[in-house]
Amino acid sequence: MKTRPGICQRKRRYATREEAEAVALHADVTLRAYKCALCKQFHLTSRTKGLRVPRPPLRPSS
C-alpha cells in the first residue's frame, strides 16, 4: 500500500507493529497495522481491499 505524504503526515505513527496492533484491538472498527514506506513506521488502516490473507499452515501427512 502506497501512502501519500499528506496522508502519512496526518496519521498517528507507531514505532512497532505490536504497538500499533495493541491500539487497533481497542478500536470500534477493524483496523490493521502496516509499515509505511515513507516514514518507515507503522500506521493503522481499515482498508482490506487487495489484502492477501495468509494460508493456514499445511498439516503434515501421517
pLDDT per position as a tens digit, 10-21: 999 999 999 999
| Helix, strand, coil % in the chain, rounded to nearest 5 | 25, 15, 60
Q: How far apart are CA 19 and CA 52, in angstroms?
A: 22
Query: What is the distance in angstroms between the CA of the first residue and the CA of the last residue of the chain?
Result: 40
**pTM for the predicted model, two decimal places:** 0.71
- Looking at residue 13, its pLDDT comes to 96
Q: How far apart are CA 18 and CA 28, in angstroms?
A: 18
pLDDT in tens, 28-52: 999 999 999 999 999 999 987 766 6
Of residues 14 and 6, more confidently modeled: 14
The answer for residues whose C-beta is within 8 angstroms of residue 47's C-beta and 6 or more apart is 1
